[in-house]
Amino acid sequence: MEHSKPISSHTVLPIGVAESGLTHSSSALPEIASRYQLARDAGVFDFVNRSPPDAEFRAVLHAVESTGMPVLAGTFIYTAGRDEPLFERNIIKGRLLGSTLHDVQLATHHADGHPLSDDEVADWYLRCHDFAGRHEITVGFEVHVNTWTEHFGRVSAVAQRVAQRGVAFGLTFDPSHVIFKIDNPAELKIQNLGEDVAAGRVVIDPRVPGNILHEWINAGYVVHCHARAAVPGNPVNIWASHPDGSHGRGIQYPLIKPGADEWHSPWEPDRLTAWKDAIRYLLTRHASRADSRLRAVTCEFIPAIDYGGGARYSILAQNIACANWLRGEISMLATDSSK
């Protein structure tokens, strides 16, 4: 069944789901085959987003073959100076699974402990781009916590260095990692981002002119989008804790209303405006630009500690709602463009 609808004459935009989001309970992930069955039976997903470890590769390959749900994209976190072979192995496995996209979460620090410079990040990007390209996979460096991109002002600086080497920078756009830092003093302290925000050098609110989300989209960096709702000052996840006892950072906000006692905080749908505006801006640009590089959107409500760990609402139901919302937005853009 083909679910995606073209939002312009030049493309069809597949909508997928993170494999870890294929669960109703944050505490009991189904076994691999059942996850892909859930993805197929939902009827709204075109693919699954996953980079399986070696021990799970055969099970994932079998699930893909038995359900017809392709693994269009992979995602993994890497440390420079240690994980170069791991990246290459993941690309090869991804190609065997049918992937055409790979999201790279590159840690802030090198394996020897020093923080990566913009030049070092650019070098790593070019290495990834060249190797993945030989396997017909497009790389997107992901906007993500605990990586070099957590200071959002660095993204364009690295992209410019990559462009100077004759290569277009690819970004995996996840506005939740930006939105949750708005009006969030504790989060703004990380990598001293708050200093640049206060001085107006980095604008993180998509409702404010000159913001970095629009900057990345307008520059044409975005090759993949992860769609998981978050709100300004997103409440920390008090229902899940890290080994050191700290609560989850809170980078996930329910898109549809949780039932009674299914979430730890009041649900206020009006707070979702900033996140929805960022996604709509991306979709609108994609619909209106024949040179858009956006290849797919992955719904990424997940049960990890910093996200939906401990939640009593259905993670899968939130992902299904996200896919339906995306399809509604895409359909409206298609209708508007045909008038």
Q: What is the pLDDT along the chain (339 residues), one digit of tens a residue?
A: 333 333 333 347 999 999 999 999 888 889 999 999 999 999 999 999 999 999 999 999 999 999 999 999 999 999 999 999 999 999 999 999 999 999 999 999 999 999 999 999 999 999 999 999 999 999 999 999 999 999 999 999 999 999 999 999 999 999 999 999 999 999 999 999 999 999 999 999 999 999 999 999 999 999 999 999 999 999 999 999 999 999 999 999 999 999 999 999 999 999 999 999 999 999 999 999 999 999 999 999 999 999 999 999 999 999 999 999 999 999 999 877 665
Which pLDDT belongs to residue 8? 35
- DSSP 8-state code for residue 146: T
Contact 7, 337 (CB under 8 A): yes
- 143-197: pLDDT as tens digits: 999 999 999 999 999 999 999 999 999 999 999 999 999 999 999 999 999 999 9
Count up the domains in the chain and report the number.
1
CATH code, 193: 3.20.20.150
- pLDDT tens-digit map of 18-46: 999 999 988 888 999 999 999 999 999 99
Residue of 336, 315, 319, 326 lying closest to 3 (CA atoms): 326
Label the pairing between strands 73-78 and 101-106: parallel
pTM: 0.94
Within a domain: residue 2? no
3 is a domain residue: no
Is residue 319 assigned to a domain? yes
Residue 172 within any structural domain of the chain:
yes
Give residue for tokens 């990890």.
304
Other Cβ atoms less than 10 A from the Cβ of 213: the count is 26
Residue-level length of the chain: 339
Residue pair 83/112 in contact (Cβ under 8 Å)? The answer is: no
Domain residues for 26? 15-338
Q: Does residue 118 form part of some domain?
A: yes
CA distance 124 to 120: 6
Q: Does any domain span residue 1?
A: no
- Residue 266, domain member (yes or no): yes
Q: Which residues of 308-332 are buried (b: 16+ CB within 10 A; e: fewer)?
A: bbbbbbbbbbbbbbbbbbbbebbee
Structural domain includes residue 8 = no
3-class DSSP state of 267: coil
Structure token pair of residue 78: 């890497």
